[in-house]
Amino acid sequence: MSERTPELGWMRLFIEVARLGSFSAAAALLGLSQPAVSYQIRRLEEQFGVSLLRRQHRGVELTAEGERLLEVAAKAVGDIDALARSFRVEAQRPVVRLRTDYAFSALWLIPRMDGFRLLHPETDMQIVATQRLAAGFRDEADVAVVFGTRAEFGAVGTLLLPERVVPVCTRGFLDRNGPFDDPRQLAKARLIHLDAPLPSPWFDWRGYFAELSVQRDINAGRGDISFNTYSLVIQAALSEQGVALGWIGLVDTLLSAHMLLQAGPQLEAADRGYWLVPPRSPNVLSEKLCTWLSDEVERNAE
């Protein structure tokens, strides 16, 4: 037969009886009747098989066994109370949510998040990454950084990062396949594409070459690869799989670290890019995040 383990609901009651030295005082503190407290202590002694308290004319005092039990129970209750307080504090910490796409969150935001934490250590940031924001995203108390045009977001947002792109590849790929001094040479290289609906809402290779009046031979694209996520496009470029279009603002750190090199002329779409869109009903937290995002972009542009 397995041993019967003692119930644990008694611990706080036992501690208060020991601390106050009285069934009646402990009962009053805990909102119980004196007989109920006396019954619980007696039941506890039966479970442990020892006397825990000596009943005296004016209260009770601990036996040696009671002292040992009090030491364990007081530590357990203290640890549980401290944990409960930490749970409550964590639940009460302010949280500001940022809705954006995978590319901005992975390549721009995550490397810089420590800056927000250092500036606002009392506030947690939650990133909600998605490829498409729901139609009513501004109805929620979130900040959004969304890619689009001035016609789409100019009335409600601020242009955070105008769309500027440069072809990028590794030094190794350039040495083996270059040079790309002329865009017509670049048009013959193996390219990495980001899948997009037609017409593309951002610069794709078709639009890039069209802006430069360069025709690409259809046979040149037989080794091309494409991805539906921009982070994978950049990972493929880093793995020397080809040349990708790099968005200035997203690939800056990779360029400055010489992990990627510029492999062609830069193009810009002045009315298109990442827009900072506050919630429909701004609050202190959303304003903190919007200010930090704007300041961080400006600081990195210097």
Residue 2: predicted pLDDT: 45
Choices 1.10.10.10, 1.25.40.10, 3.40.190.290, 3.40.50.720: CATH for 11-92:
1.10.10.10
In the chain, domain spans: 11-92, 96-301
Q: What is the CA radius of gyration of the chain?
A: 33
Q: What is the pLDDT of residue 19?
A: 85
Q: pLDDT value at position 134?
A: 64
Q: pLDDT 10s per residue in the chain (302 long)?
A: 344 545 566 778 888 888 888 888 888 888 888 888 888 888 888 888 899 888 887 788 889 998 998 898 888 888 888 887 777 766 677 888 899 999 999 999 999 999 999 999 988 888 988 877 666 666 665 899 999 999 999 999 999 999 999 999 999 999 999 899 999 999 999 999 999 888 889 999 999 999 999 998 877 777 899 999 999 999 999 999 999 999 999 999 999 999 999 999 999 998 999 999 998 888 899 999 999 999 999 987 76
**Model pTM?**
0.68
**In terms of CATH architecture, what is 96-301?**
3-Layer(aba) Sandwich (3.40)
Across the chain, where does the E strand assignment appear?
53-56, 59-62, 95-100, 124-129, 142-149, 158-169, 192-194, 225-227, 244-247, 261-262, 267-277
CA distance 164 to 301: 13
pLDDT at site 249: 92
Q: What is the pLDDT of residue 257?
A: 94
Other CB atoms within a 10 A radius of the CB of residue 97 amount to: 18
Query: How far is residue 245's CA from residue 208's CA, in Å, rounded to a whole number?
Result: 9
